[in-house]
Structure formats: structure tokens, C-alpha cells
Amino acid sequence: MKKVKISSNNILLLITIALFVVMYGLGCVVYASKGFTHLQTFLNVLINNAGLICVAAGTTCVMLTGGIDISVGSVVAMDCMILAVGMEQKGISSVVLMLLVLAIGLLFGLVQGYLIAYLKIQPFIATMAGMFFARGMTAVISTEQVSIVSDKLFVGLSNAKVNIPFGIGAYTNKKGILQIPYVRPTVIVAILVVVLIYLMLKYTKFGRSIYAVGGNQTSATLMGLNVAKTTMLTYVLASFLCSIGGICYCLNTMSGTTTQASGFEMDAISSAVIGGTLLTGGVGNIVGTLFGVLINGTISTLVKSHGKLNSSWPNIITAILLCFFIVLQAIFAKIKEAKKA
């Protein structure tokens, strides 16, 4: 008989998953009439949050090293603006623009990573500067709201439906038309990102180094790991994922404005925290983050389904959950310490 491993970290992840199941189940029971039980409702949560999933994946990696990246929201806004203005006002092809956005993401991460890893500037401050810069640049590019309508490939990508095969979750609606559940291409990108990051974190030297750096920097150095390089590459990875997320986000909103995606960084961080990633570094899991995003998405959907609730409730509920998880983490940390003494 193999014993099931349950450590305090697994417990946090289990609580998160259980919470999601309960919450979604509750929605199914209460709002069954509003189509909550249909697979499409769940898929819509994924579609709406595909960008956030990519961004949160990057944020999770950064948090695993014990750092933080608060620039991501602004970078997403900047990406959207570059895409929108590039396509609509400059007539550049969307493929070139997407590559450009990814390249900018790499560069952004490189600068932030260098400041943090080699010049030892606090991650919060360095990425705060990045946040200011990207948000300001968004406005420098354009202060208007630019909608994307002309680029065929981009519009096509945005509207493309990928049907769920084998008729899973298909149903006939009241008008007798068969509804096949679908996702957007962005969801596939997001799922790909999650899978790849999961494998990267678990099976590559780099991935394990991230955990080691977050677990104990001194130890990691003594064990011969290049802590500065690992840290910098993590920030590069995070910004790159953020740019992928930016493209996905843009495919959802199909516009660029100076104020969009504000507070996105906190959504990403709170998703990771709710998913069991410790802000002190070294502990966490991309699967948890995925569930964190889904919980956030489900809360919004539930509030929307109710219809009469104030639109600030999702934020408040998320904050309460965040508080719950942070306090839980603190309690676990105290128990661990007490055990050691």
C-alpha cells in the first residue's frame, strides 16, 4: 500500500480545488435555469480568462523564486495598444505585430530581470517602474480607444470557434437548434502554456532551479546553482508569457485603450496565492494557479448570473478569499516553525 502524500502544501491545493468544485456546484444548483449546468458556461470562464491564465503562469514562476512582478497589467495594455494601433493606423500585418509584441516582452523581462538579479533592486520597485513605463508608453502610442476591425487574420482568430469533439456537452436549445460547445483558439494557447510550464517546472533543470532559488537562496548558491541567472531568466519568462497573455487578452477585447487591464497584476497574484503559491517563494504549482483563475472567473460568472448584485462583489469576494488563504498560509508557517522548535 502506498501512502498518499499529504503535506501542508498539498492541503492548500486541495482546499483550492475543493473550493472551486463547491462554488461551481453551487452555481449549477442555484442558477441551473440560467444555463450554469451547460458545459459552455464553464468554457466561457476559460475563454474570458485565457489571457489571465497565461499572465498568471508567468507571475507564478516569478513568485516561486520569491519575487513579484506588478508590471504585467500595464504590459498587457501596452501590447493591446501596439496591436490595435499597428493594425488600424499603420496597416502592419498582425503576424509581424504579434512577433513584435513577443520580442518587446522578452526585452522588458530582460531589463527588469537584470535590475533585480544583478543590481539587486527590490522586485517590487523595479517592476513598479516597469508598470509606470508600460502604462505611460500605452498613452504615448495613442490616447484614444482603438478598435481592431480591419486585419482579417486577427479578426478571424478572434471569432474562430474550436468545437468540442464527440458531441460532449452538446445539447438542443429551446428553438431546437443543436448547440455544440466550443472554445476560442486563445483557450488552446492558454492550456498549452499551462501544460508546458507544468512540464518545465517539473522536468527541467531550469524549472527545478526556480524552486531551489525560492526555497533557500543561500543553499542554492552553496549547491552550485547560478542564482542571479535563474532569477533573471524567470523574469524574462514571465514577461514573455505576459506578452502571450496580452495577445490573448487583445483577441478577447479587440481594442486598445490606455486604461485596460488595470489591476490585472493583482488578479494574477491573487490567483496564484489562492492556488497555493507562497509569496515567500519555493512553494506552489501551476495547476493551483489555473484553479485560482477559475475561482476568480467563477465568482464573476456567479455574480453576473445573479444579475442584481453590485459589480464590485467579485472584487470583494476575491479579497476575502485572498485574506483567507494568506492567513491560512501564515498559520501553516507557524505550525511548521513550532514543529521545528
Partner 1 sequence: MSKLKGLTKKQLFLPIFSMILVMLVNVVYDIACGNPPLSFFQIATQVTTSGDTILFGRLIDVLNRGSEVVILAIGMTLVVSASAGTDISVGSVMSLSGGLCCMLLAGYGVTNVDHYKVPLVVGILAGILLAIVCGIFNGFLVAYLNIQPMVATLILWSAGRAIGLLLCNSAIVYVRVPSFQFLGSYCGPIPTPILVAAVCVAITALILKFTAVGTFVQAVGINKKAARISGFNSSKIILICYAVCGLCAGIAGIVATSRIYSADTNNIGLNMELDAILAVALGGNSLGGGKFNLAGSIIGAYTIQAITTTLYALKVSSAQAPVYKAIVVILIVVIQAEPVKAYFKKLSAKKAAAKEAN
Partner 2 sequence: MDSNIALTMRGICMTFPGVKALDNVDFTLKKGEIRALMGENGAGKSTLIKCLTGVNKFEAGEIHVDGIEGPIVNKDTMDAQKKGISTVYQEVNLCPNLSVAENLYIGREPLTKIGTVNRRKMNQMAAQLMNDLDLDVDVTKNLEEYSLALQQMIAIARAVDMESKVLILDEPTSSLDDNEVEKLFGMMRKLRDQGVGIVFVTHFLEQVYAVCDGITVLRNGTLVGEYTIEELPRVKLVAAMMGKDFDDLASIKPEGIKDFSNVPLEIEAKGLSHEGTIKPFDLDIHKGEVVGLTGLLGSGRSELARAIYGADRAQTGTLKVDGKEVKIKTPLDAMNLGMGLLPDDRKAEGIIGDMSVRENIVLAMQAKLGMFKKIPMAKQIEIADKFIEMLQIKTASRETLIKQLSGGNQQKVILARWLATDPDFLILDEPTRGIDIGTKTEIQKLVIKLAEEGKSVIFISSEIEEMLRTCNRMAVLRDGMKVGEIGMDEMNQEGVMHAIAGGDHHE
140 contact choice in partner 2, partner 1, none (CB below 5 to 8 Å, kind-dependent): partner 1
Asked if residues 83 and 243 have their Cβ atoms less than 8 Å apart, the reply is no
Distance in angstroms (rounded) separating the CA atoms of residues 172 and 179: 6
Residues 42-71 that bind partner 1 (CB under 8 A): 68
Question: 41 or 315: whose CB is closer to partner 1?
Answer: 315
Question: 213 or 274: whose CB is closer to partner 1?
Answer: 274
- The reply on whether position 335 binds partner 1 by CB under 8 A is no
Shortest Å, Cβ 209 to partner 2? 8
Distance in angstroms (rounded) separating the CA atoms of residues 169 and 318: 29
Residues 122-151 that bind partner 1 (CB under 8 A): 122, 124-126, 128-133, 135-140, 143
Question: 209 or 289: whose CB is closer to partner 2?
Answer: 209
Report the helix count and the strand count for the chain, using DSSP H and E.
13, 6
H or E stretch at 182 = strand 182-183
Residues 4-23 that bind partner 2 (CB under 8 A): 5, 7, 9
Q: How many residues bind partner 2 (CB under 8 A)?
A: 27
Distance in angstroms (rounded) separating the CA atoms of residues 57 and 245: 9
Asked if residues 138 and 74 have their Cβ atoms less than 8 Å apart, the reply is yes
**Which of 102-110, 219-227, 229-237, 241-249 is the region at the interface with partner 2 (rule: CB under 8 A)?**
219-227
Distance in angstroms (rounded) separating the CA atoms of residues 118 and 37: 51
Distance in angstroms (rounded) separating the CA atoms of residues 271 and 285: 11
Residues 119-178 that bind partner 2 (CB under 8 A): none
333 contact choice in partner 1, partner 2, none (CB below 5 to 8 Å, kind-dependent): partner 1
The contact pattern for partner 1, residues 174-213, with x = CB under 8 A and - = no contact, is ----------------------------------------
* Residue closest to 85 by CA, chosen among 133, 130, 160, 151: 151
Q: Give percent helix, percent strand, percent coil of the chain, each to the nearest 5.
A: 70, 5, 25
Distance in angstroms (rounded) separating the CA atoms of residues 250 and 272: 22
Asked if residues 54 and 241 have their Cβ atoms less than 8 Å apart, the reply is yes
Shortest Å, Cβ 338 to partner 2? 10
- The reply on whether position 168 binds partner 1 by CB under 8 A is no
Residues pairing with 171 in the sheet = 179
The contact pattern for partner 2, residues 278-317, with x = CB under 8 A and - = no contact, is ----xx----------------------------------
Question: 91 or 224: whose CB is closer to partner 2?
Answer: 224
Distance in angstroms (rounded) separating the CA atoms of residues 217 and 201: 17
* Residue closest to 249 by CA, chosen among 10, 81, 40, 126: 81
Binding site for partner 1 (CB under 8 A): 68, 115, 118-122, 124-126, 128-133, 135-140, 143, 258, 263, 266, 269-270, 273, 279-280, 310-313, 315-316, 318-320, 322-323, 326-327, 330-331, 333-334
Interacting residues toward partner 2 by CB under 8 A: 5, 7, 9, 199, 202-205, 208-209, 211-212, 214-216, 218-220, 222-225, 282-283, 336, 340-341
